[in-house]
Amino acid sequence: MKKLLAVALCAGIFTTAKSQIYVQGGVNLANITKTKSGDTQKENMLTSFNAGVLGRFNLSEIIDIETGLLVDGRGSKVESGSGDNYYKATFNPLYLEVPANLVVRFPVEKHTNIFLNAGPYVAMGIAGKSKVEGKLAGVSFNSSENIKWTSTDPTSNDQAYSQQKRFDYGLNFGGGVDLGTVLLKANYGLGLAKINSTQTNNSADAKNKYRTVSISIGIPITGSK
């Protein structure tokens, strides 16, 4: 009975609040930090995707809370050597991400506004592949395996990132334009958790943390601003 009352209360809040629900899809430019200071390398960038359903709920005329569920592709790649001696490793994990953004809207005209958003996210790894290929003294080798997820801090630091910590968290920063019938968005995901490291101390340095640029389109399916 208590559960039913809680569900009914939540339903009442969301149906009476002015809200906008939209589906989102787009491109991710994913990378991972390589240095202790948190720098990435451009040549390691990997193209992936994002897709899901998000909702914006009014706190005031210009401020919203945005949350939902996204399938978020991340990862990176490593290349070294050439000719008869080279190495290529790629890992492309998929995460379920729940963002919690504060959105500030700046009206331009009726049904059109520019917005900025920022807030934390939590994510859980659900799938992904780790691939390696190359040549050693002219002899080819290659392998592909599913990423192994662990709830503890991985202490293997292989370049293919075949073992990763399942849970990630961080901060999102972004902005875009809401045209009423479509939202155009750009976002930067700043990962704060080491997903693979020889160190178990997450705050020791900023190496092995995700950095993801997303460019997305949102299509409202209910509600309006």
Q: Read off the pLDDT of residues 174-209 as tens digits, 9 standing for 90 and up.
A: 999 999 999 999 999 999 998 887 666 777 788 889
Q: In 10 A of CB 156, how many CB atoms?
A: 13
Confidence (pLDDT) at 140: 85
Say if 11 falls within a structural domain: no
Beta-carbon count within 10 A of 78 CB: 18
Residue-level pLDDT at 4:
37
**CB-based contact 56:196 (threshold 8 Å):** no
Residue 13 lies in a domain: no
Q: Answer whether residue 115 is part of any domain.
A: yes
Alpha carbons 211 and 101: distance in angstroms, whole number? 18
15 pLDDT higher than 50: no
Across 129-141, average pLDDT = 84
- Asked if pLDDT for residue 13 goes beyond 80, the answer is no
- pLDDT-derived band of residue 80, with 50, 70 and 90 as boundaries? confident
Domain at 133, CATH number: 2.40.160
Average pLDDT on 55-61 reads 92
Indicate whether 100 belongs to any domain: yes
Task: Examine residue 5 and state whether it is found in any structural domain, yes or no.
Answer: no
If residue 110 lies in a helix (H) or strand (E), which one and from where to where?
none
Is the predicted pLDDT of residue 7 greater than 50, yes or no? Answer: no
Quickly tell me which residue has 């504060």 as its tokens: 102
For residue 101, give the 3-state DSSP assignment: strand
pTM given for the model: 0.85
Confirm whether 97 is domain-assigned.
yes
Tell me the CA distances in angstroms from 23 to 49, 181, 190, one per residue in order: 14, 12, 23
Residue 29: per-residue pLDDT = 97
Give the domain range for residue 170.
19-223
Please report where in the chains the tokens 């958003």 appear, as a residue: 117
**CB of 76 closer than 8 Å to CB of 161:** yes
Does 3 reside within a domain?
Answer: no
- Quote the number of domains for the chain: 1
pLDDT band per the 50, 70, 90 thresholds, residue 85: confident
